[in-house]
A and B are shown apart, each in its own frame.
Chain A
Amino acid sequence: MKAFEKLVDAAKADYYPVVFFGVFGSLADATNRDRVRNPFVYDRLKDSAVAPVLGVQWKFNLGITAGKVEEVEAELGKIQQKHALAEQGIPFQVRQAYLEVQQHQANIEATRKGFRSGRQWLVTAVSNFDLGVGPGKDVADAAVAYAKLRAGYFQAIYNYNLGLVKLDHAAGRDVAMVQPLLPPPPHKR
């Protein structure tokens, strides 16, 4: 945005004349010519001169400068609008990321209970099968359910950790600074 502000200033500068001052000097001494000491005769190949120069440059381009200024101001306006929109959106993104983290936290607790239940089912099925009072099919069914529930539980933990990273990104703060603001996840209590 600062770059475009400078561009606007540069475009507006063309409205004003450029005044310059300089010193002009010349020294020439050709070997095959005679020096003429008549002040009204100037031989550029055999003479020396020093003179101050004051000049003014002013562009008269019939509205082209105005057009350029308006073009750059329009670009600056676009950048300023984008900046304002981004600033308005940040609180929304942070809140959204925070709510997602809370949801993932709740999912961890729910899947943890399912995971434990799956384990209990497997323990029961294997114990019964080992004593010959339960069918092998029960063990297979319990093992499949356990595997699925276990995967769901660890997926929930993964999603929670990913949510923390997104919250960090949205808030622009380090994860270590964000995490103390949240209650500890259920599986670590």
Chain B
Amino acid sequence: MHMTYRWVGVGALLSSLLLVSSLSTAQAGEPQDKVRETVDAVLAVLQEKSLQGPEHTEKRREKMRQSVFQRFGFEEMAQRALGPHWQKRTPAEKKEFTTLFSELLERSYINKIESYTSEQKVLYTKETIEKDGYASVRTEIVVKRDANVEVEYRLLKRDGNWQVYDVVIEGVSLVNNYRTQFNNIVSQESYDALVKKLKLKIEQERAASPTK
């Protein structure tokens, strides 16, 4: 179960950060290179001796956040997750929602990322680049004593930069999943109720984590 939490957390958004080493079965294109860059950057932070230990938690997470935020398009993810309700929001509401969504994703999974082990490896199995600026990078997380975990990163090229807008774990698209959940809450309750739930969760996470 603990192992399951671990790979689920990493795979959801920052699963690439579990890596100790990554292997490619074919010559990589730009999207795969970009994903790998982020992986290596976060890995370097995790392995940096001067940043290890609970006293350096905030500094370590800040460095990881910088690497991750360069590669993940949180606004795009938030827009897709909110789906049809995004257009109805004011710019201020959109900004607020994106901030809440990003913070929750970062908070929820950073602990799991930090608990990676050197026994886990990632294989880059397939890269697909489409003409309209979309790409996907398929990976497999090799886990000992369990079946491999399939994680696919879906990227979008915007302003010359490849950004991840969705992560698909074992066939489950996180963006699609969140869209369903958010739509249920907004439809049955309200958008404000959704925002309230997200804020409550952040408060709980902050209370549980003394560093922030």
Interface residues of A (CB under 8 A from B): 115-116, 119-120, 122-124, 126-128, 130-134, 143, 146-147, 150, 153
State the interface size on chain B (CB cutoff 8 A): 32
A166 to B200, CA, bound (A): 58
Besides the known contacts A119-B4, A127-B8, A130-B12, 9 further A-B residue pairs in the complex with CB atoms under 8 A apart: A119-B170, A120-B171, A120-B172, A127-B174, A128-B177, A131-B201, A132-B198, A133-B181, A133-B194
10 contacts between A and B (CB under 8 A): A119-B4, A126-B4, A127-B12, A127-B177, A131-B108, A132-B197, A133-B178, A133-B182, A133-B194, A150-B146
B185 within 8 A of A: yes
B170 surroundings in chain A (CB, below 8 A): 116, 119-120, 123
Quick check: A116 and B171 within 8 Å, CB to CB? Answer: yes
Q: Which partner residue on chain A sits nearest B81 by CB separation?
A: A131
A96 → B minimal CB distance (Å): 31
A132 to B205, CA, bound (A): 10
A146 surroundings in chain B (CB, below 8 A): 4
A127 surroundings in chain B (CB, below 8 A): 8, 12, 172, 174, 177-178
Quick check: A130 and B9 within 8 Å, CB to CB? Answer: yes
Q: Which partner residue on chain B sits nearest A139 by CB separation?
A: B5
B2 → A minimal CB distance (Å): 10
